[in-house]
Amino acid sequence: MSHLRSSRLGRARSAVASFGLACLIGCASPNDGSTRRQLTEDELASYPIEVGELSNRPIALNDGRDPGAVLADLDGQLKRWNELLLSADQTDQRMCRRLEEYLKIQSRNHFGLLERELTGGNARNRSIAAATLGFSADPRATGLLVAAMDDPRVEVIDAALLGLGLLADIETPMEPLGRKLELAPEGWTRNNAAYAIKRLAEAGAPTESIHGSVRLALLDSWDSVRAQAAATLLVIGDRDDIIALRDSLYDPATMVALAAAKAIRRIATDDETARGEAARTLFAAWQELKNRNLQTAVRSELAVLSGRNWGEDTERWREWAYGLP
C-alpha cells in the first residue's frame, strides 16, 4: 500500500512493508541552476556498507557543490529511495540498500548544513533536512527533530516524525509523539507518529506514557495508523490490550487484522495468564471471518500459540481453546 501524495515520501525500510509513511520533500531549488540526477548502481556500489569508516572523510561526489546543489541531490535521492522501497524486484532492493548507505554518508558529511537548514531554511529545505537527518544515526539529530515537531508547517512536522522513526534513538521523548498520534488533525502526521512510536518501541524506548495513545489509535480513520498501532502492541501490549485488539481482527483493512492477530498471539505467548482469552479470541475470529487468506493467517497464529496444528479440525481447536483457563 502506498500513501504517496504529491512529493510525499512513502515508506521507510524499517517499517513493516505494508505500512505507509509520508513526509513532504520539496525541491531544494538551488540558485546555481544545477540539476538533480539519480545515482547509478555502479556509483552506489562504490560506497562501502560500513558508514562509520567514512563518517569523517569527504565523498568525491560532493566536491565543489554548493549547499543548494547538495540539497537538490538529497531531495532527488530521497524520492528515488521511496520509489525503490515500493518495488519487490531484488535489483531494486539492492539499489535501495546502497542508497540508504549513501544517504547515511551524506547526512553525516553535511550534518552542519542540514542543521542550519532545519533551523533556519525555507519549508522545503527544512523538510529535506529533517528526513535526511533520520539516516544519520547521530544522536545530535534527535533534539533537532524533536524541536522540529513544533514547526509551523505540517510537512516539516511529518518529515521530523519520519526522521525520528529512522533514527530510533531510545532517548527520544515519547510524550510529544503520543500527542501527535492522538491529536494531530492531519492523517499523514498521525501516520508518521505511529511509525516513529513503533520503531522506538522496537528499539526498547520506554512506552508507558504513550501506551494509551497507541491503543486509541486502533480506532483511527487511517488504515496505516491502525495497522502500525496493532504492530506496536505486538511489542508493548499486555493482557488488557486483547479486548481492543479483538475488534481489530474484524477490521476491513486486512493488514490491520493481520497485525492484530500477531499481537494477540504474542501477548499470550509472553503472558501465560492471557493464553485462554487469546486462544478463544483467535478461534472465534477464525470461525467468523469471511476472508479465506485471513482465516488461514489467524489459524497459523493459533498453531504457534498452541504448539500444534489441527488443520481444519474445528472441534479439536475448540476443545483446546475452551479448555484453557
Q: Write out pLDDT tens, residues 5-34.
A: 323 343 344 333 335 444 333 333 333 333
Contact present, 300 and 267 (Cβ < 8 Å): no
Say which amino acid occupies 190.
R
Instruction: Enter the DSSP assignment of 39.
Output: P
- Grid cell 512536522 is found at 157
Domain edges within the chain: 1-168, 240-325
Q: Which residues share a beta bridge with 24?
A: 8
Q: How far apart are CA 107 and CA 76, in angstroms?
A: 14
Global pTM value: 0.83
What value does the mean pLDDT take over residues 44-53? Answer: 38
Q: What is the pLDDT of residue 12?
A: 40
In 3D space, the residue among 281, 263, 287 whose CA is nearest the CA of residue 322 turns out to be: 281
Q: What is the pLDDT of residue 8?
A: 39
Kindly report the length of the chain. 325
Q: What is the pLDDT of residue 51?
A: 32
Q: Write out pLDDT tens, residues 115-135.
A: 999 999 999 999 999 999 999
Q: How far apart are CA 189 and CA 223, in angstroms?
A: 14
Residue 224 scores a pLDDT above 70: yes
Percent of the chain clearing pLDDT 90 (strictly above): 77
Region of residue 168 (left: phi > 0; alpha: psi -120 to 50; beta: else): left
